[in-house]
Amino acid sequence: MTNNAIELKQVSYRYARTDKYVINNLDFSVKPGEFVAVMGENGAGKSTLCQIIIGIIPNSLGGRLKGDVIVGGLNTKEASIAELATRVGIVLDDPETQLFTTSVRSEVAFGPENLNSPVEEIKERIRWVLDVVRLTGYEDRLPTALSGGQKQRLAIAAALAMRPSILVLDEATSQVDPLGVVEVLTLVKELNQKYGMTIVMTTDQSEEVAKLADRVLVLDKGSLVAEGTPRQIFSDTALFSRLMIRAPQVSQLGMKLSQAGHPLKSFPVSLEEGCQGIIELLADKPASPPKREPEAVTGVEAKPQNDVIISVKDLDYVYQPQDVKAVKNVTFDVHKGEFVAIIGQNGSGKTTVLKNLLGLLKPTSGSVMVAGMDTKTTAVAELAQHVGFVLQNPDQQLFAETVEDEISFGPRNLGLDEATVKDRLEQALKLVGLEAQRKEFPPALSKGERAKVVIASALALNPEVIVLDEPTTGQDYKGCHQIMQIARSLHEEGRTIVFVTHHMALVAEYARRVIVMCEGEILIDDSTERVFARPELVRRAHIIPPQITELCQMLPEELSLPRTPLSVSQVYETILARLGKNGNQ
């Protein structure tokens, strides 16, 4: 009998019909009440590890499992999934695979009811957990009618309602808005501390890992390559460069300053440590008077009206039969060649707006014009020639037997001649870097590659506008930037990009303009820098600026650092310039 909550003893695993092991000789334990974060690139084996811990492997999935996995005192080879479910809960990155009842209330109640919990206790758990995940008032809503982020919140609520002794979170906050990530993970930490709940969490939310985790495990190709405290892991520059894992932005700044010969007194992993370190580094270094930040204004700089490619006027949209008014009086224009991010809380109407742009939904009132066409009266097939759409879940758009068949389908369906179809196929494959995978079966590719196939399929139609609905959901750091670099290259070709995301660091790095939505309405529409210069206002939409922006907003103005930086490099270069002026390089 082990005293550990979880123990893996020389565990290796390969799927059926393959000789390649996706988990290699893992040997570690998790103590009761410990909060462990698991990090690594996509394909490192993180999700497989979660399936092993909860007993899906070997009880449901085939393949070969070597070694022993002890969870809550039970050997997963001997215990049934039903037995294990009384001790360990899981939340997956795709909530739709976990939701199956007809209302939010019944989804949360399902687990406790199956444990024969008293009725009043079940009611109390429903009230408590829906309040925690901000779904109070949605009790009678169909789970399928929720937004992607709301579905993920519901899956988290259903798991928390079971109050398991062990909770496994597999990228469980990937679709949750920034403030929601903080709220949910803070709650998980409270449960961890108050009830001694053991937490195993796979994530790339490094800022939250730094604040909450007791220990970090780093996987690479199924092997454990590093473990330690967040400080130990995030200060390992070589590890992060090799594996392309995202460290907190304050840690990235600390690394760059250290490499330049200006280490902070204590390596920073939190905002507070970064703030204190920079104040100490720049102490007694004269600075020019702080520049006054430009005040934010509504709207972006004026552009010729005949340059408008998307025009949304007084858009309302009501979902029936629930009579849910998802979008209210939304008005904005997008000009040719703009790179626009739409951000906001879960359920704020972002995806509803995008679907109205594509003609997948028709305005309840108001109008949407795209490339001069009214989406109310224009067929979706015709709009698709002008607007390419990439969903947050690429699997919902894939259906062909090979990558090249998937990409060729659109142009061929338009009746283009085979020479043109082939030319568009080759251009799209080259742009997304999938030439070597052209004969592959799309579902067999990694999630990042599947997303690239969907992007290539949209590009093959040669659209003027590319619309991306949370294209980086479930992607690792490397995959996020690969997708956004493709978007940037398309923008540089002159195409218009509109994307929705919860990754504020990506918004800061790539978007030129940001539309912030809150409760179905536009809260702010301005340049990226000006939007993040108003943290109190954007927080109403459950948005938290990038950590590097928060850092500089915490620092004294006398230091004359940029108040709304959009990248780590911007702050780093300003600090180096200050130090260089004073002869300290």
Measure the CA angle with vertex 34, ends 30 and 35; round to 5°.
105
| pLDDT of amino acid 584 | 43
Task: Please name every residue paired with 210 in a beta bridge, in sequence order, or none if there are none.
Answer: none
CB atoms near residue 116 (< 10 Å): 7
- CA distances 122 to 108, 129, 325, Å, are 9, 11, 30
| pLDDT of amino acid 2 | 67
Indicate if the pLDDT at residue 254 is higher than 90: yes
**The domain at 6-244 falls in which architecture?**
3-Layer(aba) Sandwich (3.40)
Query: Which tens digit of pLDDT belongs to each residue from 73-82?
Result: 999 999 998 8
What average pLDDT does range 85-107 have in this prediction? 90
Which band of pLDDT confidence, cut at 50, 70 and 90, is reported for residue 296?
very low
| pLDDT of amino acid 103 | 96
Q: How far apart are the first and last CA of the chain?
A: 58
Determine the Cα–Cα distance for residues 379 and 565; give it in Å rounded to an integer: 43
Is the pLDDT higher at 301 or at 529? 529
| pLDDT of amino acid 483 | 87
Q: Which fold would CATH assign to domain 305-541?
A: Rossmann fold (3.40.50)
Which band of pLDDT confidence, cut at 50, 70 and 90, is reported for residue 1?
low
**Structure tokens belonging to residue 365:** 């009132």
Which band of pLDDT confidence, cut at 50, 70 and 90, is reported for residue 288?
low
Is the pLDDT higher at 1 or at 568? 568
Determine the Cα–Cα distance for residues 192 and 189; give it in Å rounded to an integer: 5
Give per-residue burial for 541-552: e unless 16+ CB within 10 Å, then b.
bbbbbbbbbbbb
Is 6-244's fold the same as 305-541's?
Answer: yes
Indicate if the pLDDT at residue 83 is higher than 80: yes
What is the dihedral sign for C-alpha 79, 83, 87, 89? positive
DSSP letter assigned to residue 323: T
Domain boundaries, the chain: 6-244, 250-293+548-581, 305-541
Mean pLDDT in the chain? 90
| pLDDT of amino acid 67 | 96
Determine the Cα–Cα distance for residues 380 and 360; give it in Å rounded to an integer: 7
pTM of the shown model: 0.85
Determine the Cα–Cα distance for residues 104 and 119; give it in Å rounded to an integer: 17
Which band of pLDDT confidence, cut at 50, 70 and 90, is reported for residue 149?
confident
Q: Are 463 and 390 in contact (CB under 8 A)?
A: no
**Structure tokens belonging to residue 215:** 């220990």
| pLDDT of amino acid 194 | 85
What average pLDDT does range 277-298 have in this prediction? 65
Which band of pLDDT confidence, cut at 50, 70 and 90, is reported for residue 153?
confident
